[in-house]
């Protein structure tokens, strides 16, 4: 089996779904802009520099989901996908996914962004399998805590191996493994697959790709 893995934010999407979700909630009065926007910007800069404390970030982001009824969040999410996310989906990204689908490759999205936001985005690409950072739930409502290990940096490798185990597969037994990502935070997984592809790469990843002679593509 050949496995094609895709990062989501700034890779398949021309933008960041997590960052823009916060801005969307601010616009709809769910978040206080004075309190939230500055901290959100700081976390975003830390992510871009590879210095993000993922647990601190999750605690900050998930509090919003905890403090609002699931019914309200579900309605807002539908509006968010239609108005904000769909315009971020480029033809080039769709063509890339479809090229792997036509070759009967197994398709997987792996993202540090929470699975509540990203599952309907994966559906836009027709990709059933998604590994995201999972949220703990109690009686259908979010608790504000992470469930399991965040799929971030080396955590993506751990979560990928767990996913493969669930399917009775081993990474070493796969014929080929592709991974497309834009971020320096994904270098651990890019180094593990047989076919790493720097996609819309940030400066650090671009330098790494040039040094390692990895393909560099742009989906914008």
pLDDT of 60: 82
Q: Sign of the CA dihedral 134, 218, 124, 162? A: negative
Which CATH number do you get for residue 158? 3.40.50.1000
pLDDT at 48 over 90: no
**pLDDT grade, residue 47 (50/70/90)?**
confident
Q: How many domains would you assign to the chain?
A: 1
Structure tokens given for 178:
């592709």
Q: What pTM was computed for the model?
A: 0.93
Burial of residue 2, with CB atoms counted within 10 A of its CB: 0-12 exposed, 13-18 middle, 19 or more buried: middle
Residue 187, domain extent: 2-217
State pLDDT tens for residues 119-157: 999 999 999 999 999 999 999 899 999 999 999 999 999
pLDDT at 115 over 90: yes
**Residue in 9, 16, 186, 202 annotated catalytic:** 9
182 noted as active-site residue: no
Radius of gyration, CA atoms only, the chain: 17
Contact 176, 3 (CB under 8 A): yes
Q: Are strands 141-147 and 129-138 parallel, antiparallel or unpaired?
A: antiparallel
pLDDT at 41 over 90: no
- Of all residues in the chain, the percent with pLDDT exceeding 70 is 100
95 noted as active-site residue: no
pLDDT at 31 over 80: yes
pLDDT at 33 over 90: no
**pLDDT grade, residue 72 (50/70/90)?**
very high
Minimum mean pLDDT range among 20-29, 61-70, 94-103, 167-176: 61-70
pLDDT at 219 over 90: yes
Q: Which residues contact 214 (CB under 8 A, 6 or more apart)?
A: 190, 196, 197, 198, 208
């Amino acid at each position: 089996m050949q496995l094609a893995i895709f990062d989501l934010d700034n890779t398949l999407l021309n933008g960041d779904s997590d960052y823009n979700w916060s801005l969307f909630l601010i616009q709809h009065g769910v978040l206080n802009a004075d309190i939230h926007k500055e901290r959100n910007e700081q976390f975003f800069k830390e992510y871009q520099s590879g210095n993000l404390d993922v647990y601190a970030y999750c605690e900050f982001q998930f509090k919003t989901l905890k403090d609002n009824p699931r019914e309200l969040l579900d309605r807002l999410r539908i509006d968010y996908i239609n108005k904000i996310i769909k315009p971020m989906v480029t033809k080039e990204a769709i063509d890339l996914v479809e090229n792997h689908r036509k070759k009967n490759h197994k398709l997987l999205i792996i993202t540090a962004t929470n699975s509540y936001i990203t599952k309907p985005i994966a559906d836009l690409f027709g990709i059933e399998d998604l590994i995201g950072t999972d949220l703990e739930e109690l009686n259908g409502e979010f608790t504000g805590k992470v469930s399991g290990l965040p799929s971030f940096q080396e955590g993506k490798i751990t979560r990928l191996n767990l996913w493969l185990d669930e399917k009775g597969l081993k990474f070493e037994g796969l014929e080929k493994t592709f991974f497309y990502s834009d971020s320096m935070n994904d270098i651990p997984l890019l180094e593990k697959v047989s076919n790493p592809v720097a996609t819309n790469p940030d400066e650090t990843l671009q330098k790494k790709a040039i040094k390692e002679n990895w393909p560099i593509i742009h989906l914008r």
